[in-house]
Chain A
Amino acid sequence: MKNGVITFVLTALIVAIIGGFAGYYIFIKHKTAQTQQSSDIGDGSDNAFGGSVGSTYQNIASGNDGTTSLRADLGKPAPRLWHVVSTPTAGFGFGQGPVVYIAERATGNILKADPAQSAIVRLTNTLIPKVREALFSATGDVLLRTSDGDGRITTFAATVATTTEFTSTSTPNVLEGMYLPNDIMAVDTMYNAPTSKGIFFVAKNPDGGSVGVTSGWKGTGVKKLFTSPLSQWRAQWLTDGRIVLTQNASDDIVGSSFIVSKDGVFSPLASNQPGLTVLYHETGDAYLYGTSDGGTLSLYVKTGKNAPVKLPIATLADKCVWAPGSALIAYCAVPSDPPGANYLRDWYQGAVHTHDLWWKVDATAGTAEKYFTPDTSASTDVENPQIDAGATAIAFRNAADKSLWLLRISQ
């Protein structure tokens, strides 16, 4: 009887141990399956940040932990549509490789995302809180812009030391730089000429209006190009040194765009168009322009001296990006449903958001075709799309939450 009891207890113990191991195995296998699930969509906010993430990020992102089954797989190429950072970003820019430099909105810390490895590392840990806007050079140097409640704007120009290859175990650097003049209303970098690290900006003139200048990255070598009684401009600095200056847009309000020469001479580009938004090709004689007139969005392409061609897509030039090269190809995010009246105003005020589909525009042929349709779980309202030098991927922010996404172009 005693032996029987002992045998029963031992058997039960063995069964419990085996059962425990089996349960643990099944549990782990299930978790592994979750993290390795292949998909066209990925949320890299957790794995991708790995252990190099600062506490701020972890605090913000803690809600994302482990509950999503669609994510990038660290060490492997990112999925075609990668949700790189799910928390609000201030801005981003492509570096070499391609990698994507990212500025956190909450901290101003600079991150680097590598889509080839689905990895993100923190490059700097200098706290600059509540950054609204960030622009990068191709080498990762950054302009961090903030604004206070009264509308005052600051711009911090910083250099990110990149002599050392960062890994997940690297110690983040201090972000060193200096403040440019206050109230820079519009700014653009000479993105495609990284060695020059130049910037163009339009700053409010204390006497009224604004002044347009070029300078080195940290405000050195300032050259005044023009003064204007107006200050609400959007600027695009072209590779050849010219500047496309476009009035801020609003629905049904006519706007004009100019090419400003390196000597500051204005030449009209597009005049008196309602709700005008413009995107000029970096190297070719072509530009996209959008209008918002009577509740209708229209997008046109103009090449050389040819008459503008209206494209079969209703979107803004703000939602488009030109592919590099001479082929005059652009990618545009197009709202799936036509937005209503006052869309531009409401969109700029964060009062309306859309679910966008990607279209590919052939400017030479004046045609557009649907290119990529994200599923509803990856609904994004695209803003500020950028493309890498090799035309392999488009990075963009979701205007609805300022998170960062990456869409791979080449398969």
Chain B
Amino acid sequence: MKHLVLALALVLMPAWVAAQVDIGGPSIFLSVSPTYPQPGQAVIYTVQSPLIDLSARDITWKNAGAVVLEGVGETSYKTNAPQGGERDDISVSVEGISEPASISITPSDVDLLWESQSYAPGLYLGRHLPSQGSNVVFQAVPHISKSGAEIPAAQLLYVWKVGGDVVASGRGKTSVTVPIQTFSDAFTVSVEVTNADRTLGANKRVTLSIVEPTVRLYFEHPLYGTLYHMALPPRSDISDTEMSFTAIPYFAGASGANDPQFSYIWRVNGTPVQENDQRPNVLTINAGTGGGDAQVELSLTHKKNFRFDAHGAWDVVFGSIAAHGVASQGAPDLFGAGK
């Protein structure tokens, strides 16, 4: 029995001593999650020790010297990261441990910008969207400051990932171009930006949907050119009996509407129409003096991208009385005939 007591005493003594006296050294560790919080983002600070049980200790949290949380077993402190340009100096003290642990957070952020190099006509004001066969350009715009001054983007380290795989990295690598060759409907790109010693950093991830190209049909006016402001609705009534139309394959992975890889297959009232050699995306219809109804169909394929298949169908009534004086169903009165 005596030996048993002695043995227990030998086993338990270190824990008891640690609980009562400062054991010195790095006995507590402070961490923050996320590692690189953005301005205003919710963050959680956690204190841990590999040697002692903190659940029964009195723990005090301070920010810039002011107590923000205190209590027995308070091993974590939840708050929001400061705004951009501001800094939090968080320290934690544990009863019986002489050395507090501390960490400073200067929120960093990185804007992850992107645009697709898919086709849209010149002067198009909208964003080009990613489609199969197109490239997407990503740019990281970091906002990482040290001592109140923003670190130039060229001095930071970048790690780019597509779907979790690193595709590029290095100092000053602020952009990557990603070709879209996936079979899925979306893909994810992320970037992590840090300073040289990785004490400051930010990361961002974006998931992009891959769209199907959209074919719009426009009037090709002899004086005004392509009327990009008047996409044809499914049905149009026009007063003229002859008209040219231009098809625009928005967001196609191509160099232009007349990319040589495109095959335009036009049909009017079910009959194939010989394509225009110079501008295959342009179709001219002469409905004769009496006018009439033209069911225009377009099938657009790509010679190398077999997954590319865009369709469109429009019903155009030429010489329509309805077009006189009324923009019927959105149809334009092109020549002012109805006024």
Q: Taking beta carbons and an 8 Å cutoff, which residues of A are in contact with B?
A: 56, 60-64, 67-68, 86-88, 105-106, 129-130, 132-133, 145, 147-153, 183, 208-209, 228-232, 234, 247-250, 253-256, 258, 266, 268, 271-272, 344-345, 348-351, 353, 399-402
Contacts and interface: CB of A to CB of B under 8 A. Distances in A.
A250 B111 contact: no
Given A63-B336, A249-B127, A350 B227 contact: yes
Interface of B: 109, 111, 113-115, 119-129, 137-139, 141, 143, 174-175, 177, 206, 214, 216, 218, 223-231, 233, 246, 250, 255-258, 279, 281, 330, 332, 335-339
Nearest to A253: B127
Given A256-B111, A349-B216, A151 B256 contact: yes
B221 to A, nearest CB: 8
B111 A229 contact: no
A248 B111 contact: no
Given A149-B246, A229-B139, A231-B115, A248 B125 contact: yes
Nearest to B119: A151
The 4 closest A-B pairs by CB, nearest first: A63-B336, A147-B122, A150-B256, A130-B225
Contacts of B129: 250, 253
Contacts of A153: 122-123
A61 B250 CA distance: 32
Contacts of A268: 109, 111, 141, 143
Given A88-B224, A130-B224, A149-B226, A344 B111 contact: no
Nearest to A402: B229
A127 to B, nearest CB: 11
Nearest to B116: A232
B223 A106 contact: yes
A247 B227 contact: no
Given A63-B336, A232-B128, A271-B111, A150 B229 contact: no
Nearest to A383: B229
Contact of B139 (A60, A61, A150, A228): A228
Most buried by A among B125, B227, B337: B125
Given A129-B223, A271-B111, A68 B339 contact: yes
Given A151-B120, A350-B216, A353-B330, 19 more contacts: A60-B223, A63-B335, A63-B338, A64-B336, A88-B227, A105-B223, A129-B223, A183-B122, A228-B139, A229-B174, A248-B125, A249-B125, A255-B127, A266-B141, A268-B109, A345-B126, A349-B214, A350-B229, A400-B332
B121 A151 contact: yes
A249 B229 contact: no
A250 B127 contact: yes
A272 B218 CA distance: 33
A67 B339 contact: yes
B141 A401 contact: no
Contacts of B137: 208-209, 229-230
Contact of A230 (B109, B115, B230): B115
B127 A248 contact: yes
A291 B281 CA distance: 34
Contacts of B119: 151
A63 B256 contact: no
A67 B336 CA distance: 11
Given A63-B339, A348-B125, A150 B258 contact: yes
Contact of B126 (A106, A132, A348): A348
Nearest to B138: A229
A389 B164 CA distance: 54
Contacts of B231: 349-351
A279 B312 CA distance: 36
Contact of A132 (B143, B225, B246, B257): B225
B174 A234 contact: no
B239 to A, nearest CB: 10
Given A149-B281, A350-B231, A249 B175 contact: no
B122 A151 contact: yes
Contacts of A87: 336
11 contacts: A60-B223, A64-B339, A86-B339, A229-B138, A230-B114, A258-B141, A349-B250, A350-B229, A353-B330, A400-B230, A400-B332
B335 to A, nearest CB: 6
A249 B143 contact: no
A397 to B, nearest CB: 9
Contacts of A129: 223, 225
A89 to B, nearest CB: 10
Contact of B223 (A56, A86, A248, A249): A56
A105 B229 CA distance: 13
Nearest to A232: B115
A249 B139 contact: no
A311 B121 CA distance: 33
A233 B32 CA distance: 37
Nearest to B129: A250
A234 B125 contact: yes
B303 to A, nearest CB: 18
B123 A350 contact: no
A349 B126 contact: yes
Nearest to B335: A63
A156 to B, nearest CB: 14
A234 B335 CA distance: 32
Contact of A401 (B126, B174, B229, B250): B229
A271 to B, nearest CB: 5
Contacts of B177: 208, 229
Contacts of A130: 223-225
Contact of A350 (B109, B111, B230, B335): B230
B126 A248 contact: yes
